[in-house]
Amino acid sequence: MRERELEGKIAVVTGASGGIGRLIVERLAEHGAVIAAIDKDKDELVKGIKKMQERGYPITAFPADVTDSMIVEEVISTVESKLGSIDILVNVAGVLKLDLIDDLDEADWDASFSVNATGVFCMSKIVSRQMIPRKKGSIITVSSNASHIPRIGMAAYGASKAAATMFTKCLGLELAKHNIRCNVISPGSTDTKMLRKLWSNEEGEIETIDGQSEVYRVGIPLGKIGTPSDIANSVLFFASDDASHITMHDMVVDGGATLGV
């Protein structure tokens, strides 16, 4: 990707206070994009982008719940009026609820779909309405390789991410005539707070890399945990003109953990 290729483009990033979201914001800004950073947690959002703002990056915080379509409408209208026409949307906001299906609480199931699927629906639908008249745009959904392979205890997460993946592909088919590209990035185990919550002891990283047959995980063939940078670099590619002929694609970034499925 060429340096500063995104100069002046307006990018909206949800889940901007998380490990992956925060780095995506930084990378897009480094390449010249003007960022609208969205997250439900106002304090973490402001804290997360403060140092980037101090470095001169044009990033504005917009605290918002992506599952509330009325709030999303208001925020996107404000972004367009204050920052300009949106060129890029990156759906990163997500939650992870773990439990065996027999023990899975309905509230956790609903929360998983509310954020991981409905949030993607609300943001993408409302932002794409702004993009359609301009005949350009890139929508990128950060899903998960859990949408490809079943795993013990991850029914709610995997199913909700699979819904987000298919929604984004269907959106891409509908918006292709408007020159709007819609793509998916499916990370595997990535070094974030979310992943570390899954580790019960100091052997967690080793077990993740080696695999756990009892939860149908084959391990990571490349022998390492992914980093937020791996995901951010993939977002940069889809957002750039280098991906101008790619849409409805699901890029799995998991070190081979799902064996290319």
124 in a structural domain? yes
Comparing 99 with 4, the larger pLDDT belongs to 99
115 in a structural domain? yes
- Please give the helix or strand (H or E) that residue 132 lies within, else none: none
The reply to whether 152 and 221 lie within a common domain is no
The reply to whether 220 and 233 lie within a common domain is no
Average pLDDT over residues 87-93: 98
Average pLDDT over residues 161-189: 95
Question: Active-site residue 157, yes or no?
Answer: yes
Average pLDDT over the chain, rounded to an integer: 90
Q: What is the CATH number of the domain that holds 65?
A: 3.40.50.720
The reply to whether 155 and 214 lie within a common domain is no
The reply to whether 247 and 235 lie within a common domain is yes
List the one residue out of 139, 108, 115 whose CA is nearest residue 39.
115
The reply to whether 114 and 214 lie within a common domain is no
261 in a structural domain? no
30 in a structural domain? yes
The reply to whether 167 and 209 lie within a common domain is no
258 in a structural domain? no
Given a cut of 50, whether residue 195 has pLDDT beyond it is no
Q: Which residue out of 113, 157, 167, 238 is catalytically annotated?
A: 157
259 in a structural domain? no
240 in a structural domain? yes
Average pLDDT over residues 132-137: 98
Given a cut of 70, whether residue 253 has pLDDT beyond it is yes
Residue range 35-67, pLDDT digits in tens: 999 999 999 999 999 999 999 999 999 999 999
Given a cut of 50, whether residue 105 has pLDDT beyond it is yes
What domain count does the chain have? 2
Residue range 204-226, pLDDT digits in tens: 445 545 456 555 566 788 888 78
The reply to whether 105 and 46 lie within a common domain is yes
Average pLDDT over residues 82-89: 98
- The pLDDT score that the predictor gives to residue 186 is 94
The reply to whether 17 and 135 lie within a common domain is yes
Q: Domain range holding 214?
A: 193-225
Say whether 63 sits in a helix, a strand or coil.
Answer: strand
The reply to whether 146 and 199 lie within a common domain is no
The reply to whether 182 and 137 lie within a common domain is yes
AA identity, residue 75: V
The reply to whether 158 and 76 lie within a common domain is yes
Are the C-beta atoms of 253 and 234 separated by less than 8 Å?
A: yes
* % of the chain residues with pLDDT over 70: 87
126 in a structural domain? yes
The reply to whether 211 and 178 lie within a common domain is no
- The pLDDT score that the predictor gives to residue 4 is 80
Provide the β-strand partners of residue 182.
Answer: 139
Given a cut of 50, whether residue 76 has pLDDT beyond it is yes
DSSP letter string, 76-128: HHHHHHHT--EEEEEE-------B-GGG--HHHHHHHHIIIIIHHHHHHHHHH
Question: Residue length, the chain?
Answer: 261
Provide the β-strand partners of residue 63.
Answer: 39
- The pLDDT score that the predictor gives to residue 122 is 98
Query: What φ, ψ does residue 84 adopt, rounded to 5°?
Result: 125, -175
Cβ atoms within 10 A of the Cβ of 221, count?
A: 13
